[in-house]
Structure formats: structure tokens, C-alpha cells
Chains A and B, each alone.
Chain A
Amino acid sequence: MAHDHAADTDHHDHHDQPASGIGRWLFATNHKDIGTMYLVFSLIMFFVGGAMAMVIRAELFKPGLQLVDPGFFNQMTTMHALVMIFGAVMPAFVGLANWMIPLQIGAPDMALPRMNNFSFWIMPFAFTILLSSLFVPGGAPAGGWTMYPPLFLQGGNYVAMAIFAIHLMGASSIMGSINVIVTIMNMRAPGMNLLKMPLFCWSWLITAYLLIAVMPVLAGAVTMLLTDHYFGTSFFNAAGGGDPLMFEHVFWFFGHPEVYIMILPAFGIISEILPTFSRKPLFGATSMIYAIASIAFLSFIVWGHHMFVDGMPLAAQVFFMMSTMLIAVPTGVKVFNWTATMWKGSLSFEPPMLFALSFLFLFTIGGFSGVMLAIVPVDFQYNQTYFVVAHFHYVLVPGAVFAIMAAVYYWLPKWTGNMYSMGLAKTHFWLSTIFVNVLFFPQHFLGLAGMPRRIPDYAVQFSDWNMVSSIGAFGFGLSQLLFVVVIIQCARGGARKASAEVWDGALPTGLEWTIPSPAPYHSFTVAPEIK
């Protein structure tokens, strides 16, 4: 696979260097610039959503209401979820896709660069609309990110604002997905057949299909909310012959694939990093691809498990329980393959590897609580409690978010050409891993002991674990400032220059390590040959 990139100098294009000034970003068509914008946007949203989480945990620090009004508390829980899901996690993965897919498949850029620009620039507008709803009469959405009617429809101006913002986010996601699929299908370097393609690209290819399949479903659901609220329809209004439960079905038909949209690219990232620092190829690479595809398929037939307490025919309860439990099988295959990748390897513990290992352990814990939640008769006790909150935060924070951080630490030297401070990055890792457990583990106990979720105040027997959890939250929130410090230092010159291979001595595989660091503005203008 070795090739030099002298080809890069052989330009027949007039803009070999980035344009100067704001125009470079506003009119960006370069996948690296757009990827950077997505990642920076996602980091900002991570702190916006994080600040909301701090408000929530500060109010829950002790029983009684000290800081915010219950209505505002509900706005915080709702907005925290919307911002983190649609503003932080998803754009981060799209940013990584923009940066890495062309580099990994040996393509000069994404297939549809202008649409790429459009799909990014929609996002700041969508989030300006969503966040500005905090300042309109009646405030921001407060009915939970799931937007269940009739509660959501009791809102004021936010109904239109949130729905319009979600439409925009959905359009952005669909365009991003089309771009990923077209790029992967058409622009792979000669000789790179699909089974030779890196796992990160594979996970994104499947994720992109999921997005295209379910984002229109979400758009349909919220459009029906919109017409119910403003145009007198009764899709979900029982008094008008509508069906409030139908919204839940439609929403979760989107919502369950959505949770895999947030974790499949993470699987891809972990499958890149573990082999590198184990100095050993990924174990069972083909079965990994089949596992991702199986999870993607199963994600369409498990939505009912979000709704067991809403009342469901017996047969449906059993069906959704079985199909949900089945997901544990391909997920188990992935965890076993990752473990087997480390087995008889030669492990070193650079920051990306540390985050990947943390992912491996803590995501698995989230998987266990997921299996427990699938057991319908006991789900009646778990559902709508902090046990669920603990479960999905374990799969989303040390799951998706840690995978994103692992990816940033893995590829940042390639992007900037500089190596970051290992000491600071490792400090960030240890603080994050310790505090994320202090934050979320006690929430299992709270839920089992009977604390419902989405409440601003609680009975006094829940005081102790809530205080522990809040301390963990403040620690985790503060630790993330270190992440920003590491990134800024690295972008400004870092500890030292990074080599083309970056992780010398480890076993980084893939085309991205064959070009210099930082990756030139235009890479692979002549496709590399894959043997």
C-alpha cells in the first residue's frame, strides 16, 4: 500500500491552498474544512448541552427546590437531550466521516462537496432556532425530547420552533448520509473492494442507510404534531378521534434506529483503534461487518420496547422482548471480537487506546443493563426510572462520546500535523473515566430504589446517591475543559511534530497514514492502488 504522494503536487486545480478569511469556511467545499467545522460545532454544542446537564445536577444535588422552577427544569432536561443527540453526537460523527472517509478510501474529497457545505451550514441555523426558544414566551420545549403529545402540544411558540429546527436537522442528516453513501460507493481507490474497506467506513455506510430510512419518519411525526397544533387536525388528539399512542409508535420507529445511528460509527472507531495499539489485525473483521448489519436490521423491529408500560397486546410484548434480546447476540460478537483482538497482542496505552478500552468496559455495562431492560415483566419496574437514565447514559457517554474522543485523539495529529500533550490527554482520560462512573453508576441504584426520571425534586431517601451523582457530574463537566486545552495546544503547535504514520511503533493500518501529517489540503488527487 506504500505510495508516495508526489501525486499531490500534480495539480490541475487553481485553488491548491485554502482560501483566506471567512470565505474559506462559508463557501467551504473541502471535506477537511467541512469536517473541522462539524467537529468544532459539535464541541460547542457538547458544552451547551453540558451546561444544561450541570443545571439539572445542581438542582438535584439535594432535595428541595433551590435553583430553578420545575418548568425550567423540564426545559433543561428536554433541551439537554435534543442538543446532545442532534447537536453534539451526530454532528461529531458526521465531522469524522467528512475527514476520514475520503482519507480511508483514497478519494480526493466527498462526492458531493456543495451539498456537503449546505448540510453543514443548515446546522447552526437549526440550533439557533432551537436554542432561541429558551427566550420566547413560554420558554423552550419542556415535554421531553420524545415530544409525546398531548404534553408537547400544550406548549407555546416552541412547538413551531422546535419542529422547524428538527426538520432542518433531519434535512442536514439526510444530505450528509447521501454524501457518505455516494462517496463510498463510487470513489473507493481501485482495488479497494467493499470487504477491504476499513471498519469505520463500513459502520458509516450502514449508519447512513439507517439515517435515510428513519429521518423522514421523524419528520412525518413532527409534521403531524405541527398540524395538530396549528391546523386543527387530530392525528394524536383522542378527543378528535386521534391516537396519542400512534405518535409513540412512529417516534420510536425513528428513535430506536436513531440510538444505533449514535453507536454504530463508534463501533467502527473502536475497531480501528484497538488493532492499532494491540499491534494485531482486527479479529473476525468480516463477522464484525455482519454484526453491524444485523444490529442495523434488528433496530427496525424493536421499537416497542420503549413502550411496554403504555399497554401492548401480549403477543407484541413477547415479540419485542425477544427481538430486543436478540440484539445482544451481534453486540456480544463485537465485544468478543474486540477482546480477541487484544488477546495475544502487544498492547500499549496511548490516549486513544485508553478511551477505547474505557469504551469497551463501560459500553458493556450499558449492554448488561440493556438486557435487563429488555425483560418485559421487570421492565415495568425499571421503565421511566433513573435505571433507564443510567443505562442510556452508559451507552451514550462512555459509549458514543468516549469513542468520539478516542477518534479525536487518534486522528488529531493527522489533522494538525502536531502531537498533543500525552500527559494532559491521559489526565483528561483518567478524570473522565472516574467521574463518569461516579456520575452514572449511582443512578442505577436510584432507579431501582424507585426514583422516577425527569423530576426536579425527590423524596429524601434518594438524597445520598443524588449527591454522589451530582459531584460526579461537576467533576466530569470540569474535566472536559482539559479536552479543549489539549485540542487548542495541539492545533497551535503541540508537543512535537507528528510523523506521517503518527503512531510509530504501533500498527496503524489504512490509507490515511500514507499521506503526510498534517494531511495536505488536497489528498489522493491521484487514486492510490490497493493490492
Chain B
Amino acid sequence: MRVTKASLFSAAGGACCWSAAASANTSNGYNLPIGVTSLSEAMYGLHMEVFWICVGIAVVVFGAMIYSLLKFRHSQGAVADTSMVHSTKVEVIWTIVPVIILVVMAVPAADLILKQEDMRDSGLSIKVTGYQWKWQYAYMDAADGVNFFSTLKQDSNFARQLDSGIDPHSVPNYLLDVDKPLVVPSGVKVRILLTSMDVIHAWWVPDFGAKRSAIPGFVNEIWFRVDPGKEGIYRGQCAALCGRDHGYMPVVVDVRTPDQFKQWVEEQRAAEKQAQTPASSPPAPAAPAAAAAAPAALTATTARNLN
């Protein structure tokens, strides 16, 4: 998708990717995605900086090794200089120089950590809860009350069964599509609050440079802001082994313009009201409003899966 300076990497990578299959993210198939947020771009920049420093060191160190392998061969009559056993000067130099290089890498890195950890002034907070094996998205702030589960899409779920006979290539966005994606507005700083109801999960969207663990008993935070003009669908996966179906709980985020987002929130509220009115005879429907309606919601999604 994106062929910029990353193409330099392909030279180092040797034989490169031969199929530009429908990409889940802005990665070119062998390098980090540049992504669509200021954080992901900064992460990509730092990644490439450190990568080229490593390449530079590799050229010098491997160069010296290869030169020795070619030049000082016993079979070609090389005679060892057995007096060369120690040199304080050289050893001090090759201790100090790496320290300097590391500081050069560490300073911008520390700077970027500060940006990543700056949770102030967010425009929208969403509580994301991990379950085996689905995500629950509970909106706060302007979209307060919107609350739903997001599960692997049915066609992927059929295709992924052992010996299903369905070719994964025939399934659009195989394993990376959900029944109901997280919807967020562009241009707004979105704060994700992560926790889990069972085991440790990790929520990850590579294009946002956003990954953090969802741990029972803890609330972790991350933020991202998708630049206006970059609206679209972005895909990721659970990144922490969470049991049998760890590979089958994708994260899909649908980024819309603020107006479209507002409209979407209205639709959600209207749909929820509609769902509640006909069923108002038993006293049960207080459940969806309660944040801790996990068992009820679980049954709902299970029922949906069985349909």
C-alpha cells in the first residue's frame, strides 16, 4: 500500500514479498506500518532510526569479521600475531563509543514515552474489557451508554474450523473482521481504558501504534488520535496469549468523521431504545444499562453466534 522510504528496507531484506495481498494495515508486509496517528508515525521513525544505527554498526563489525575471515587464513600462510592480546586504549574506546550511541537512541525514545503516557485532554474515553474471546466496548463522555460486544465475524469463524474446507483466501479479511467494530471519530484524542474479566488479553491496532494489556483487577490506559482525512477501517488482534481461541479475537476500529460519529451514536441509542420497548413487560431490561451486565451480555452474544 505504502511505498515510501520503507522500500529501502527491502534492499536489506533481500527477496521481498511477492504478493501484495489485501493488507490489514499500512505495513508493506515486512516492516512496521507507518500508521495513521502521530504516535505511530513517531514510533515508525524511531524504529527506522534505530534500525539504521544497527545496520551501521553491523557494517563495521561484520566488515571486520569478514575481512579477518578472508585475510587471515591459515591455508594461505597467514601467521598469527600472538603478541596481540590486550590493549587498554582500544578496549576503553569500544566501551565508551557504544555508550554514546545508546544515549543517542535513548533520548528521543524517552521523549516519545512522555508523549505516549500523556493522557490529558482526551475527547472521548472508551472502556475496553477483554473476555475469552471477545471485546466489550463501553463508551463514556459524549457517547455515554453505548455498550456492545465485538466478536469474530461469522464467515471467518466458519472458515477457521479444523478442516473446514473453506479457503481462507476466499474470506474477506480472514480472522481480522468482527460483527460490530469499535467506531471512533477522527481528529479526537481517544482514550482507551483497558481491563479484563478473565485472563490477560492485549488490545492492539498496529496502525494506531496502540497496544496495551488488559489485566483483571487493573485499568491500563492508552490513547490515539487519527488524523482527519485518514478515516477508514483499521484492524488488529489480541496480542497476549489468552487461551484456546487467542488467535480469534480481532480488534477492528472504524474511524469516521466527527459528524458521522455523532450520527452513529444517535443510531445506537435509538436502536437500544427500540430493543427495550417491546420487551418491557418483564422487569429484566434494566440489565443492558448496567455496566456489569456481563453474564446477560455474554448470553446475548452466544445466542447470536448460534444463529
Contact = CB atoms under 8 A, between A and B. Distances in A.
A344 B98 contact: no
Contact of B213 (A64, A311, A325, A455): A311
B78, B81, B220, B239: most-surrounded residue (chain A CB, <10 A): B239
Contact of B247 (A337, A357, A377, A456): A456
A347 interface: yes
A321 B174 contact: no
A460 B167 CA distance: 10
Contact of B29 (A154, A278, A321, A461): A461
B68 A384 contact: no
A489 to B, nearest CB: 26
Contact of B94 (A69, A333, A364): A333
Name the interface size band of chain A: 35 or more
Interface in A235-289: 238-239, 242-245, 278-287
Contacts of B175: 457-459
Task: Summarize A's interface: helix, strand, loop or mixed.
Answer: helix
A212 B21 CA distance: 51
B199 A150 contact: yes
A310 interface: yes
A279 B102 contact: no
Contact of B216 (A71, A238, A337, A361): A238
B84 A335 contact: no
A413 interface: no
Nearest to A330: B95
Given A154-B199, A329-B98, A449 B163 contact: no
Interface stretch (A102-110, A160-168, A367-375, A478-486): A367-375
B69 A347 contact: yes
A143 interface: yes
Interface stretch (B46-54, B121-129, B139-147, B291-299): B46-54
30 contacts: A63-B169, A63-B174, A64-B167, A65-B164, A69-B162, A142-B244, A148-B200, A150-B199, A150-B200, A280-B84, A281-B82, A309-B212, A310-B215, A317-B117, A333-B91, A344-B80, A344-B84, A346-B73, A346-B80, A361-B62, A371-B54, A380-B210, A381-B32, A448-B30, A450-B25, A450-B236, A459-B24, A461-B22, A464-B17, A464-B18
Interface of A: 63-66, 68-71, 74, 142-144, 148, 150-151, 154, 238-239, 242-245, 278-287, 309-311, 314, 317-318, 321-322, 325-326, 328-329, 332-333, 335-337, 339-340, 342-348, 357, 360-361, 364-365, 368, 371-372, 375-378, 380-381, 383-385, 444-445, 448-450, 452-461, 463-465, 507
The 8 closest A-B pairs by CB, nearest first: A238-B217, A455-B247, A445-B30, A377-B112, A311-B220, A342-B68, A344-B81, A384-B239
